[in-house]
Every structure is written in structure tokens, then in C-alpha cells.
Chains A and B, each alone.
Chain A
């Protein structure tokens, strides 16, 4: 199992995908950070660095897609979504062009660059868009496989990637499948649906909870839209208590997606979200911010206990 940032798994996958002459990559002047640079060096004819012009990049990708190319339009999540929402709506989603939007450095985990760089509303943006597939891998290997899987899916997609290096969860025997959640820890008292870097925090929380004889199940939700509704509903029913965990604002992200799924299925069990509490954070390391703003393993563990209290009642 390989440790590494999800953006690194993405960059590695692009390099592999270079063998496909239809794959093209666009960037907005951050190719060293977004990890598209290796593809750019290996396949210069199929790499378009559009300068610091995200709106132009997204629409150029849409034009390329109409000629049969599979464009990966890549930049920091905060600018990709923030600067190009209208372009994504009209030229990508409504036009239903086969554009893959890869947003790196997502969430509060970006750290010291501060709240203007900490994209905490992108899942809300992208989930709300018809035709849009939304993925967030949890480690290097899953990021690599998810990127490759996107070339086999026809249609618009958002791939949410992180900056920090994270622990490997999967090896190459893992088979990522769009739309399928995967169970990382099988317990019985409560089910945690986590996505992205919060999978890591949840694993740390589970280690601590086990010492107190609390046995949670951990499920990695790497396809946020369309959600694996039947599986999520059955797991929620089985455990009788639910936690969601994400590095995203509490509105519009995984928590709301899961709540919506449970409501649709008529599964009414105690549920709590671990998410950004509708506020902008500040500068600091990812670990410091997660502790102060409610996303660390400690917060996951505490929230598990809270929901178990509700379950008992």
C-alpha cells in the first residue's frame, strides 16, 4: 500500500493514460502543484497550460471534448469551481461534454494558505449540477484508479483531490468502481460514512474507540454522486446509528447526501455529521485546523459517542 497524496495518484494515472491518444490535460498555471506537469513533459502536444484563466480552461476543455478528446481540466479546487461555475454549468454539464474536472488542494487540509484557498463548498456546488459525477478518492491508489475509471465513463465529472500526503489504504488488488462504496472496517455499533481525508481521521478515531469497546464500521464513500444509496441505507438500518465525516462545509456535502438517501429510503436512525461548522477557518497546519475546527480524529470519536447516546435513548 502506497502512501502519498491523492493528487500524486492522479498525476501518476495521467501518465499511464498518456498511452491513450484521446487523453488531453489542461492546467491553469499550477501544473507543478496539481501534478499534471509529468504528463505535460511526456506528452507536450496533448498538454495545454492555459495560464491563470480557469474559465477559459474549462470551456477550452469542453471544445476539445466535442472533438472526441477526453480532457482533464485541472487546477486548485478553489479556483476551478469558484472561477468557472457558470462555464461548468453551460459548456460542461448542460452541454453534457465529456470533461473531467480535477480540483486539487480541496478542503481545509490545504492549511497555511488560508481560507481563500480552503475550498469547503465544492461538493455542494458539484452535487447540485445535473449530469455531474462527483468522486473523492481516499488514498493514492484509489486516486490512481478513479482517474483511470473516469476515462471509461462518458460525461462530466468532478474529481476532488487533496494536497497532503496520506497513508495508503488500498493496494493494487483493490478494484475501484464508480458508484460503489467500500468497507474499510467492519464493526457493529455505529457506521461511519467518510470521504477523502476524513477516512484517515476516522481510522485513527476507531483505534481509540476500540480501546473503549466501541466497535464502529467504516465505509469509504468515494463516489459522492451518484451515491450508493441501497448499500448506505442497509448499513444505516443494520447499525442503527450513523456518522458522516468530510473536509467540507456541513451544508451540501456528503452529510446532506447521506441524510437525503436515508430520508428517501425511510431509514430514520440517529445521525450526526463531522464537517466544517459553517464557518471560514484561518491559517495553520492541517492538523491544527482539523483540531480547532472540528475535523480531527478526536472530533470523530466524540461524535461517535454522542450518536451512540442518542441510539440508547
Chain B
């Protein structure tokens, strides 16, 4: 394991890194000419904390190390963010990000991730499956007495999928305490505001009722993110962190807009966005 990942960097450094990752996401999506900027920017602070805050044990030179902690992106459309994080963590060269969503991509940087890409555990692209998969990983590593930490990021719209609640019941039944679900609660889906499409509230009550150790944080406050992610595992419950976020966070004209769910920025948009993220 790379020793730089063990020390906890200062919050300010993580914030700076998150800004760089946001810029890189937009560049990558712009170059690809398609992709999902809104949901990548909303989850950037969470992903930055997980990969670079010293919270997860991983070795980019041995991506299948059975003792690794696991990260899953169930809201698979935020793949630009996923790949930028994996590249920066050393799983593959950053140069390969230029082949995002391109045919013959040497690291298989598909629109939605697949395990052919180093560091990716499972394919995504159909919402609602990642929590069950993450739970299966938690059960498997527990059988092996490895007790790896398993983190999975869910979209808020994704919670409208029934399977999420099947998995929620399962993880509490099996007392899967090493499983942490993080809801990127950006309040915006593809064609609607989440509340109008199908309201999730009262969301904390729902998770509590399903037997989860439930936390609600500001998903753009790095200090709060780090503090919550560092909490020791609950004695018998899986953990959910509902992170209030803003879709398109950091770019004023993208924030809270359904229009920026799945559209690449034009040259002009990119220039404006990068200025705001300078």
C-alpha cells in the first residue's frame, strides 16, 4: 500500500484536490463530447475524501488484493468522476482519461464502469444494483474474516428503485456492519427534481426504520465528511450517510439544473466553468 494514503491530509488539501478533480471531470466529459457532469460534481467531495483522505486501504499496483477496502459507484453515470479518482490514485495513467467513452479505450473507460478497468469491482449502468453487490462483498469478506470496509455511493433518484430497499432489509438482517452506503442527495434527477418525481422524504426515518445507523451531513463540507467517514463501525447495524449535495456543485450555471444531468459542456461552457473552479 502506498504510504501517502495512510496519513490523513489536511482538510484544506482535500478541498483543493476536490476542486482539481472537478476541473478534470469537466475536461474529460468535454473531450468525450458526452457524459454526466451534474452528478459527477455533486459527488466529488465524497469521492475525494474516500480515495484520498486515508480512509480506504487499496494498492493500485495490486488492484485485486483480497484485503483491499472496496468502493462501488452504484450511480454509474458519474463515471467521469470515478475514472478521474482511479487515475489520480494510480490505477492507470491519467493520459488514458483521454479515451473516456471512446472505442478501443485501453482501460475500457466505458460510459458506465466495468471491472475490466483496474480498480472497478462490478459493472454499473442499471440503477439500484450496487447496494446489493456491495452487501455481497461485505458478506464474502466477513466469511474470510478480512472485514474489509465496503463503501457504495448511491444516487438519490436511485433510491426510487425497489431493489435498494430489498438490500437495505438484507444488510440489517445480516448485521453487515462494515458496509457504508453514501447517498449523494443532490435533489435532481434526469428529467425532474427528485421531490417532484417521487419524494424520498422523510429519508432519515426510512433508513432508520430499515435498521441502519443513519447520519445526515453536508456533502460539500469536507470536515464533516471526513469526521463521519472516520466513525468506527456500529456494533450491529450497517451505516448510511445521507449527504446533502448540489447537482453540478461548483459551477453556477450547472447547479441544481436537470439540464446538466447528461450533457457535455461546449467549449464556451467549459471555459466559463473552469474559471469558476480556478
Contact = CB atoms under 8 A, between A and B. Distances in A.
B130 to A, nearest CB: 8
Nearest to B112: A90
Interface string A251-262: 000000000000
A142 to B, nearest CB: 29
B139 A60 contact: yes
**Interface size class of chain A, counting residues whose CB lies under 8 Å from the partner chain:** 20 to 34
A65 B132 CA distance: 12
Contact of B114 (A45, A59, A63, A94): A94
Contact of B173 (A51, A68, A87, A95): A51
Nearest to A58: B132
B119 to A, nearest CB: 13
Contacts of B129: 55, 59, 86-87, 90-91
Nearest to A84: B163
A69 interface: yes
A51 to B, nearest CB: 7
B140 A67 contact: yes
A66 B163 contact: no
Interface string B83-117: 00000000000000000000000000000001100
Contacts of B141: 67
Interface string A145-172: 0000000000000000000000000000
Contacts of A91: 122-123, 129, 132-133
Contacts of B121: 66
B19 interface: no
B48 to A, nearest CB: 24
A197 interface: no
Interface stretch (B4-12, B30-38, B164-172): B164-172
Interface in A30-60: 45-46, 48, 50-51, 53, 55-56, 58-60
A24 B19 CA distance: 44
B143 A69 contact: yes
Given A55-B163, A67-B141, A60 B136 contact: yes
Contacts of A96: 115
A138 B66 CA distance: 39
B166 A24 contact: no
B134 interface: yes
Interface in B44-77: 66
Specify which of B124, B137, B140 lies most central, judged by the most chain A CB atoms within 10 Å of its CB: B140
B140 A69 contact: yes
A63 B135 contact: yes
A143 interface: no
A11 B114 CA distance: 33
Given A24-B143, A91-B133, A59 B167 contact: yes
Given A66-B137, A67-B66, A95 B143 contact: no
B136 A51 contact: no
Contacts of A62: 122, 132-133, 136
Given A90-B126, A91-B129, A95-B114, A68 B66 contact: yes
Contact of A66 (B114, B122, B128, B169): B122
Contacts of A95: 114-115, 122-123
A286 interface: no
Interface string A10-35: 00000000000000100000000000
For the complex of A and B, 6 pairs with smallest distance between CB atoms: A63-B136, A67-B140, A59-B132, A56-B166, A53-B166, A60-B136
7 contacts: A24-B143, A50-B170, A55-B129, A56-B132, A67-B137, A68-B144, A90-B125
Given A60-B167, A63-B138, A68-B66, 12 more contacts: A45-B143, A55-B166, A56-B167, A59-B132, A59-B163, A63-B135, A63-B140, A64-B137, A66-B115, A67-B136, A87-B126, A90-B129
Interface of B: 66, 114-115, 121-126, 128-130, 132-141, 143-144, 162-163, 166-167, 169-170, 173-174
